[in-house]
Amino acid sequence: MEIVVNGDPRGVAPGSTVASLLRELSLPATRVAVERNREIVRKSEYDAVALSTGDRIEIVTFVGGG
């Protein structure tokens, strides 16, 4: 199924969760925050939140700046 991650379309397996998406992207859950359809997903829910077709996922992290 297709979702949008940080603005780009991406195919993921049916049954994917936020946690499995982060694993697929090699992103450590401890260093990112995730929004699904503009709602923040709590870290404790990454395993439980199943992705649906058309979901818009934003993944942010810390970079130099400020």
Partner 1 sequence: MADTLTLGGRTFRSRLLVGTGKYPDYPTMVRALEASGAEIVTVAVRRVNLDRAKESLLDHVDPKRYTLLPNTAGCYTEEDAVRTCLLAREAGMADMVKLEVIGDEKTLFPDTPALLSAAKRLVKEGFVVLPYTNDDSSSFPTRTTIRSWRNGWRTPGAPR
- Window 13-52: residues binding partner 1 (CB under 8 A): 25-27, 30-35, 40, 42-43
Identify whether the C-beta of residue 55 lies closer than 8 Å to the C-beta of residue 24: no
Site membership for partner 1, residue 56 (CB under 8 A): no
- Look at residue 11 and give its three-state secondary structure: strand
Measured between alpha carbons, how far is 53 from 63 in angstroms, rounded to an integer? 30
Query: Between 11 and 65, whose beta carbon lies closer to partner 1?
Result: 65
Site residues (CB under 8 A) for partner 1?
A: 5-8, 25-27, 30-35, 40, 42-43, 58-66
